[in-house]
Structure 1
Amino acid sequence: MTKKISNKFIESNLQEFAENNGLESLPEFKQFEHLSNYLTISKYHPEAFDSVEVFESVDMDAGSNFGIDGGAILVNGNLLLNESDLSLYSKSKKLELVLIFNQSKTSANFDSGDIAKLGTAVQNFFEENPKIPLSQELIELKNLYNRVLEPDYIRMIDRKRFPRLEMNFITTSRHQADETTRAVSQQMIKNLKTANEDLASVDFNLLGSDYINDTYEDLTNRYTVKIKFDRRIELDSIKDVFGSYIGYLDFSNFLELVTDQNQEIRNNIFYENVRDFQGVDNKVNTEINETLTSDELRDKFILLNNGITVVTKQLTPLQNNEYELGEFQIVNGCQTSNMLYLNREKKSIQNGLFIPIKLIHTQDNEVISKIVKATNRQTPVPDEAFVALDKYHQNLQKFYELTSRELNEKIYYERRSREYQNSDNNIQKYKIVNVHKQIRAFTAIFLNEPHTVASNHPYN
């Protein structure tokens, strides 16, 4: 029998999550499975769940499945839903492949039997002839995985670091897993590594209430970050800007800004950056890496790098030159931030490295749009990436607002990403239409080519 969630914080977040995504009619345990999939997948691809259909696509539990509630394949940080998605990477130089399998329990404990069941089910998934029958959803996921491993794609996989397997056992427990359950998960890792030499790494995460609540707050951008910003110059008064600063952070303060409570990089803070992380082999990133790893160049990083631009809607001065930021985005500096994060373990970087930073406090969306456009003009970015900033889209947003008055339910055009996320109107996510959804809808209906847009790729 499925237990009702007793954790009030999880219960509140789950209710909000279900309402925002049109899932409120589902039973609580099913909502929790969807929430678990949302949390574990969105940390790689923050905009993956842009429709209810995506929740259904990663749901592996239609009632006849063994041990696995959710499953997903990510390529270069993007959710892979079908072969049409995969074709987008046919000309890529390198593929980063991650597999995620989830088991979710509303009960407030880590059960070693259920943990072993997840490990066994995942191992069965990789068998050439699975002894435990796979659900139709798992069969489709397995076919897609096998397709990625065919010669035309497997040659592009970075075999030293990928494919990477991540298993997540998620409960509402307030406590850490005990020694026995941790030992069971470690044995599952050992078994999978032995049986699947193709896997570059295997992780088995035992996740409780702190992970659920903290990650949900993180993904909904309701967290705050404190940084010590004592090396700064405050600029003169600027119209529609509450405050702006130019300065630099030491490495430890920079990490506070870009990593979450699990010391993983906050991918969602780069969504306004126009261009996603381009990988370690990108020419610019190779040069950044050379600077960070060179004894002769490392101390000159602050001179050689343009730094990062942070726009925040909440900025509170604290004591001792500390500032608290909320609802912030790194609108320029995605490549720099990721390369610094990847080199975070090097002791030579942890001390004496300074990162240039421009910090802007404003709540004016037009100002933010101009900053995004201006800062990203410094490197070659196609004009199409700025389309949502044009006057046409401002008028289209107004058109949505006026036309929606005649509908049973209002819909909203989100011209700028996450524009309505923390609005006072508490708008449900499924009522929000962005530019990517519009392109897909137009192509599918008016051009009669739905097969070409069955993709979750951010530029499709």
Structure 2
Amino acid sequence: MHLVTQSYFNAFCKSFGAPYKDTKNFEAFANYCIFTKYTGDTVEVADLVYDGADPGIDGAFMYLDDRAVMSFEELAEILDGSRREYAVSIVFTQVKSSTHWLKVEIDSFIASIVDLLSDSPAQPHAEHLAEFRLMFKKIFENIGRIKNGLPNLHAYFLSAAPDTEASEINAAFDIGEKALKRLGYSHDTRYIKGHRDFIHNLWLAADGPVEARLPTIGYAPFPAAPSINNAYVATVLARNFIDTVLKNKDGSPRKKLFEENVRDFLGVDADVNSEIAGTIGEEGRKSRFGLMNNGVTIVASSVRPAGQEIFIRDFQIVNGCQTSNVLISLDEKVDASVSLMVKLIEADQPSVIDDIVRATNRQSKVEDAQFISTLDVLRKLEHYFNARGATEANRLYFERRKGQYGPENIAPVRIFDVRETARCYSAVAMMRPDLASRYPNRLTGELLNDVFKPGSSEESYYTSCFAHYRLKLLLGNKKFDGRYSKLRWHLLCAASKYCAENFKKLACKSRDEALYNLFAANEGVWFDRLDALIETAIPDPDISRDLLKSPPLMAVVLSNVDKLKNK
């Protein structure tokens, strides 16, 4: 393997606690690089690789807009619970750590995809691919609500080999893409040659700084204000805004731009957005778009004017999610006559950013419950993590604001955002591993106020995250079989019950203290207890996907915990 590739791969394994053998970990590394190209969602290594029969497909992912959907149940819940339109991307990967290209492997990957999507597949499929077929069918049952009438289909053959000009290899990719197009199942259809430099660029883009140079028609500074370093209001061409701010250099939409915005994109057909779209769609009105629209507000770590351009770094759109997404959706209709007003604010103090988010969205009559990033509970939780972590050798960080620890070079495995914290708390404190594994988006949606309830113990959130962090490290260090990764939420729930019922016998003051001790050690008495718990609660990690998502599994696991009462 090339030295640079090996370096990036090692960094991934160290940061994410990859628990498998090198070949499987390399699959996870390459799949992570692709995953971050489509979404800003967090993902676990165990969700990037799969066990079971391998028909030549290493990864199968589905995205609705820029959100990853990991299960049939979650997809059905989304589609059945809303009537809006979605842009759907279906992504397949095949990963090779070899430094040589083989035409037969390139051909075999396409044949496997064609077979998987056929009415009567000939090859045996692992459980995750069988479920993916169900998800694929569910999309077509709702085809009237899929943007462009069909999903996008992107296949990536990823290899540690350098790029090649060999005619038989490049011809294999061309022929493979034509085979996918002939299926007639997709709008934008691609078969991508993912050579080592391609993977390198994706890895560097995954967590690197977001920068842009936005050309302006004109701009003016705001007067100086406390805790605001720089601020400008600019008039820009919407075309330039799309190409430099909303899209990457390769033309793909930027991810993580709207984490500070309190509302997800509602769809082009929503009332407010249909008006925006209508203005852009009419030749006589589009030139007045900038006057009729409230504009976009951007907060960045750096805002610097240079001539008629403004440079921004590490930026978030805190108000204007709907406007921005409509512009992307109607990209082909946005010409040089469409203008836009943009506020650009350089600020780094959390309280100031909170005020900006609240004030700019208040003008849109957004309900208080939607202010996820400004909930008092989350702010107090951030303070608790900081105070508690100051005494820890490997402290954990609560990321209330997406990317806030990016400049500090902290291993991702020690950073818990709102969604990941909710999953940990759900498994440990709420005893609902099913929500953590199958319905994570529900935890920060309809169940938000149940998960982050005022008055809940901050220690329970911290301990839940600590237990998950340590379990991932123990799996990554091969202290436990890597196959337990897919069962981590059930193991956390089992550990929670064990510690709740036995903390006094274990000479601890609370369940949380016992749980912390149970996961803190790499050896010794507490580690032996954890080892016994895992072996007793789930003796065999080879559990089918269907059983994994069934309610009886958790009942069996918790029943097994009772066998450890005297240990």
Q: TM-score, normalised by structure 2?
A: 0.71
**Structure-2 change in CA distance of 1:293 and 1:324 (3 Å):** same
- Of residues 35, 40, 46, the one that matches 1:56 is 46
1:294 to 273, 282, 296: 282
The change in CA–CA distance for 1:12 and 1:229 in structure 2 (over 3 A counts) is farther
Choose from 104, 107, 132 the match for 1:141. Answer: 132
2:322 matches 1:322:
no
1:74 corresponds in structure 2 to 63
Structure 1 residues 169-210: Cα deviation after superposition (integer angstroms, max 9, x where no partner): 22345547655434322322332343x444444321223345
Structure 1 portions without partners, runs of 5+: none
Q: What is the match of residue 191 of structure 2? A: 204
CA pair 260-213 structure 1, distance change in 2 beyond 3 A: farther
Aligned AA for 2:2? I
Residues 1:34 and 2:28 aligned together? yes
Amino acid at match of 2:82: S
Where does residue 393 of structure 1 map in the other structure?
378
Paired residue for 2:412? 429
**Is the partner of 1:39 in helix, strand or coil?**
helix
Which AA in structure 2 matches 1:212?
Answer: I
1:257 aligns with 2:271: no
Q: Which amino acid aligns with 1:84?
A: E
Residue 110 to residue 20, structure 1, CA distance change in 2 (3 Å): same
Does residue 118 in structure 1 map to residue 109 in structure 2?
yes
1:410-455 deviations in whole A, cap 9, x for unaligned? 22211222221222xx222122222333333344443333334422
Greater helix share, 1 or 2?
Answer: 2
Deviates further, 107-116 or 79-88: 107-116
Contact 1:411–1:433, Cα closer than 8 Å, also in 2:
yes
CA positional deviation for 1:313: 0.4
- Indicate yes or no: 2:441 matched with 1:457: yes
One-letter identity of the residue aligned with 2:109: L
Please, which of 347, 361, 374 is the counterpart of residue 346 of structure 2? 361
RCO greater where, 1 or 2, for CA within 8 Å and sep 6 or more?
1
Structure 2 SS opposite 1:419: coil
Moved more, 103-112 or 322-331: 103-112
Separation of aligned partners in 1, 2:11 and 2:359: 36
**1:140–1:287 distance in 2 versus 1, CA, 3 Å:** same
Question: What's the counterpart of residue 82 of structure 2?
Answer: 92
**Residue 465 (structure 2) aligns with:** none
RMSD: 2.8
Tell me if structure 1 keeps the 8 A contact 2:99–2:160.
yes
Within 5 Å, give how 1:176-187 maps onto structure 2. Answer: 180-187=168-175
Please say if 1:14 is aligned against 2:9.
yes
Instruction: Flag the 1:448–1:223 CA change in 2: closer, same or farther, 3 A.
Output: closer
User: Equivalent of 1:228, from 206, 215, 219?
Assistant: 215
Look up the SS of the partner of 2:234 in the other structure. Answer: strand
The whole-number CA distance in structure 2 between the counterparts of 1:324 and 1:397 is 30
Relative to 1, partners in 2 of residues 1:209 and 1:359: Cα closer, same or farther, differing over 3 Å?
Answer: farther
Q: 1:217/1:307 Cα in 2 relative to 1: closer, same or farther (>3 Å)? A: farther
Q: Is the 8 A contact 1:78 1:457 kept in 2?
A: no
Pick aligned residue for 2:299 from 306, 311, 314:
311
Name the SS of the counterpart of 2:104 in structure 1: helix
Aligned twin of 2:233: 246
Structure 1 residues 7-43: Cα deviation after superposition (integer angstroms, max 9, x where no partner): x2x44433333322222x5455434322322232233
1:344 alignment partner, one of 331, 334, 344: 331
Q: 1:127 aligns with which of 118, 135, 142?
A: 118
**Separation (CA, whole Å) in 1 of partners of 2:177 and 2:357:** 43
Quote the Cα distance in structure 2 between the aligned partners of 1:440 and 1:104. Answer: 29
Larger mean Cα displacement after TM superposition, 121-130 or 216-225: 216-225
Provide closer, same or farther for how the CA distance between residues 366 and 213 of structure 1 changes in structure 2, counting only shifts above 3 A: farther
d(CA) in 1 for partners of 2:201 and 2:303?
A: 21
Seq. identity, % = 24
Which residue number corresponds to residue 417 of structure 1?
402
The answer to whether the 8 Å contact 1:171/1:207 transfers is yes
Q: Distance in 2 between matches of 1:178 and 1:306?
A: 53
The question of whether the paired residues in 1 share the 8 Å contact of 2:259 and 2:402 is answered with: yes
Instruction: Assess if the C-alpha contact under 8 Å between 1:48 and 1:79 holds in 2.
Output: no
Preserved CA contact (<8 Å) 2:143 2:150: no
Distance 2:164 2:213 in 1: 26
For 1:174 and 1:324, the matched residues in 2 are separated by 34
Secondary structure of residue in 1 paired with 2:331: coil
Counterpart residue identity of residue 141, structure 1: F
The aligned runs of 1:375-394 (5 Å cut-off) are 375-394=360-379
8 Å CA contact 1:169, 1:205 repeated in 2: yes
* CA deviation vs aligned residue, 1:350-376 (integer Å, no higher than 9, x gap): 323222110111222221121122212
Q: CA deviation at 1:225?
A: 1.8
AA of the residue aligned to 1:142: R
**Structure 2 unpaired stretches of 5+:** 446-567
User: Which residue of the partner structure matches residue 5 of structure 1?
Assistant: 2
SS of residue matched to 2:38:
coil
Structure 1 counterpart of 2:95, one-letter code: S
Q: How far off its partner does 1:264 sit? A: 0.9
Q: Is the 8 A contact 1:95 1:156 kept in 2?
A: no
Moved more, 262-271 or 96-105: 96-105
- How many Å separate the matches in 1 of 2:219 and 2:197? 35
- 2-structure distance, mates of 1:172, 1:329: 33
| Cα drift, residue 286 of structure 1 | 1.6
Structure 2 counterpart of 1:379, which letter?
S
Whichever residue aligns with residue 457 of structure 1, its letter is: N
Count residues with an aligned counterpart.
440
C-alpha distance in structure 2 between counterparts of 1:82 and 1:197, whole Å: 24
Asked if 1 retains the 8 angstrom alpha-carbon contact of 2:86 and 2:267, the reply is: no
In 1, Cα distance between equivalents of 2:429 and 2:416: 17
Task: Give 3-state SS (helix, strand or coil) of 2:288's partner.
Answer: helix
Displacement of 1:305 in angstroms is 0.9
Could you report, residue by residue, the CA deviation over 1:46-67 in whole angstroms, capped at 9, with x for unpaired residues?
A: 1141xx3xx323424x485232
Q: TM-score, structure 1 length as denominator? A: 0.86
Deviation at 1:221, TM superposition (A): 4.0
